Amino acid sequence: MKHRIIPFLSVLLLVSLLLAGCGKEPAVTGLSDEEFHQYFAEDYARPVSNITEIVEENGGLSLKTDVAPIAAMKAGTVVYAADYGWNHGYGRLALVQQEDCYLLYAHCSKVTVKTGDALKQGDKIGEAGSTGHTDNSVRLGVYRFPLEEVAPVTDADGTVTGFTVNGAEPSLE
């Protein structure tokens, strides 16, 4: 009888440990919330859970990360999405109009939203990656209006093919 109880208790312990992790959100790794909110206001959500470094460069921020889902930091409307092409060195990207600014998510390995999509905070935009001029990161650019006018560029058929900032193509320089 004693030999049957020990294996039963071992199995019970193993099942308890496995169930303890069910239903929990994935752990946030890398930068702490305090470090993240040195760059972003408290009402902005993390776009990816595993940010290892934030680098200020070329008038924007690069959030170093592994390939991971990208979530909308705030609610807004996608005014331009490109799951293809070079796009002025930004690679695959989504430009989201928010209440007080436009937020550019660039260098994605995949973009899952379409122009015109309404987003809630936390909705998936795509996957972090390394398209354009970068290594594994998510490039964030913030364009505030009315100081900066962000406008779509269309071809002869009316298809949106890109965007301009203050009438010029955005540059990484």
Q: 3-25: per-residue pLDDT in tens?
A: 444 443 333 333 333 233 333 33
pLDDT at 88 over 90: no
Burial class (CB in 10 A: 0-12, 13-18, 19+), 98: middle
Tokens of 23: 């239903």
Is the pTM for the entire model greater than 0.75? no
Q: Helices (DSSP H) in the chain: which residue ranges?
A: 2-20, 33-36
Assign domain 30-165 to its CATH architecture: Distorted Sandwich (2.70)
Mean pLDDT of 140-167: 67
What count of other Cβ atoms lies within 10 Å of the Cβ of residue 158?
6
Among residues 158, 55, 74, which one has the least CA distance to residue 115?
158
Q: Which residues pair with 127 in a beta bridge?
A: 69, 110
Tokens of 156: 């002869």
**pLDDT: which is higher, 166 or 91:** 91
Q: Which amino acid is at 19?
A: L
CB 140 within 8 A of CB 61: yes
Among residues 101, 119, 111, which one has the least CA distance to residue 40?
101
pLDDT at 158 over 50: yes
pLDDT at 34 over 90: no
3-state DSSP assignment of residue 50: coil
Q: Give the integer Cα–Cα distance in Å for 82 and 93.
A: 5
pLDDT at 169 over 50: yes
